[in-house]
Structure 1
């Protein structure tokens, strides 16, 4: 596969985005952090050719080995504080001089997902996200990623990237993501989407979205964590029974509503359930992380996926009271995995 625009060809369509290389030349000298917005036509897997926008941020010099970082559907392009935006990012604790994700050693790139702005109200596939990322790399002049590090939905997109744009990738690191959604997890998300849709029909978008997020939080965390944090008796408040976790869940829902739209949630939730790859088509060295007790991405499913990869592959299982959100909360253990996954290049840099 060529590194020209042919490398961005959709695996299931003859159409492709206009991917002329080097259309945008990064400023010189290159910035230690930066943001860029890219608008382009992309042949979406389930909706045909559409005009899309991908917003990207990077931390670290663009000349350094590049890592693409991708989280769940609510993650965004701001992974850590930098000279462009000093606020903490969604993976702030995973960054730093002693961490595997060190912006002094790597250029760390991330994006706002296609559809995250609520403007793309149509089916979005994980393959579409991978093709959009490949387009952006072409525009930035980055020929090859040292690694795609994806967690949850980001791991799904990373799998698609490894299959569809293999020559652009040295290795895949996939955390808490299997080759497809389990029937039980899909059913749970379908109920969340019905809650959001019910809110829309009742002119109560915020209420529906908040409740859906609260349900989602139950799937991201574990029963053990809730037992540790909220093991207090229910109480009566203003004539109603109130359980100990309700305030926490309501806070999560309200915070989510302040940042996201119902359309964005619906379309990206759907995208998780649309994800499906053939693991044997992954032909780059890969590292998988599975969390015991994570029923959104069961360890058994991840192990089965890893077993079919057509390249050297490692799968690690951990126990974590944070369940699916271990990649966000169990930072030291995740960092140890990332160090092992990236150790070849890290040792070269140290030498």
Structure 2
């Protein structure tokens, strides 16, 4: 295991280059599958995915937090911004001209699955996607937050189908402190439902979640003191929290939030079952995934393990807000063993 801080630099990674000047192909699809859910029995489900890049290129599965989705970045078939445009696109570390990039909408993200969803269920769905697309082995699985948890499950349960894993801000188990944060968020949704106000309950839950994703240092730099507005005290961060909470509630069904939030707390995988190369990324200021938890994971993985530690005022959200540092880690991990 190696341990080193990663500075925010802009890498120029090497990688496979396919002789084709055309824009990378982008395919969006969905299919039905029968899946035996770990806690809810066999269900008929629909999996939605995107597949961007040349089918001859090494395949990399990319997954983010519970609010992430299959659209990673703008491409020829969909010019809308994706959730990880900072890392995905022409000239970036996850360039679809060099990699075949696969991604999914999480099971339950549309609100249609009102049952406990284990991260292992998501890993099984990804294995079904590989079967559907005829992909035998992934060159890499890049997971951030919840996606890192699912990546660890995939590495443990389907080791023959994965060459390497990059797990950013996610570990083999949910920390009790982080689970307590999420339990309160789910209670906010429940209280809203009791008042026939699901939306406001979800808005409040998302606002509480944002406080756990970020750090006091960031808020101290961004926001000033409280002020009196129309006879009541309003703190400077409220406008920001209101905007983020309302935007999230407009695109997320409450059931989806509840079940995917619960899914994080169901994470439980034995690191000793994972023998492939793993790159772990931890953030010192992350209050949801403490550094000590990542050290514990690193010590029990059986394969080649690299640990990279970042320092970021963005805490858990560093994978979204520190593009240079994350790109450097991805380049190091994915390019290993790949001809230039």
Name the TM-score, length of structure 2 as normaliser: 0.92
Distance in 2, Cα, partners of 1:306 & 1:99:
28
**8 Å CA contact 1:31, 1:62 repeated in 2:** no
Q: 2:25 aligns with which of 32, 35, 46?
A: 32
1:141 maps to 134
2:265 maps to 273
1:3-14 residue pairs with structure 2 within 5 A? none
Give structure 2 stretches of 5+ with no counterpart: 1-22
- Across the two proteins, how many residue pairs are aligned to each other? 319
Distance in 1, Cα, partners of 2:279 & 2:149:
13
Distance in 1, Cα, partners of 2:187 & 2:44:
28
Deviations, residues 2-39 of structure 1 (Å, cap 9, x unaligned) = xxxxxxxxxxxxxxxxxxxxxxxxxxxx9711111011
Using CA pairs below 8 Å that are at least 6 residues apart, which structure has the higher relative contact order? 2
1:10 maps to none
2:15 maps to none
1:313 maps to 305
2:169 maps to 176
Distance in 2, Cα, partners of 1:212 & 1:238:
26
Deviations, residues 157-203 of structure 1 (Å, cap 9, x unaligned) = 00000011110000010000011011111011001000001111110
2:244 maps to 252
Give structure 1 stretches of 5+ with no counterpart: 1-29
2:192 maps to 199
2:42 maps to 49
2:20 maps to none
Alpha-carbon shift at residue 53 of structure 1 (Å): 1.0
Alpha-carbon shift at residue 239 of structure 1 (Å): 1.1
Note if 1:189 corresponds to 2:182.
yes
Alpha-carbon shift at residue 343 of structure 1 (Å): 2.1
Q: 1:156 aligns with which of 133, 149, 154?
A: 149
1:285-296 residue pairs with structure 2 within 5 A? 285-296=277-288
Distance in 2, Cα, partners of 1:312 & 1:345:
14
Distance in 2, Cα, partners of 1:62 & 1:297:
35
Deviations, residues 205-246 of structure 1 (Å, cap 9, x unaligned) = 00000000000000111111111111x121111111000000
Deviations, residues 57-114 of structure 1 (Å, cap 9, x unaligned) = 1221122100000000000000011122111110001123443211111011111000
Q: Secondary structure at the match of 1:321?
A: coil
1:81 maps to 74
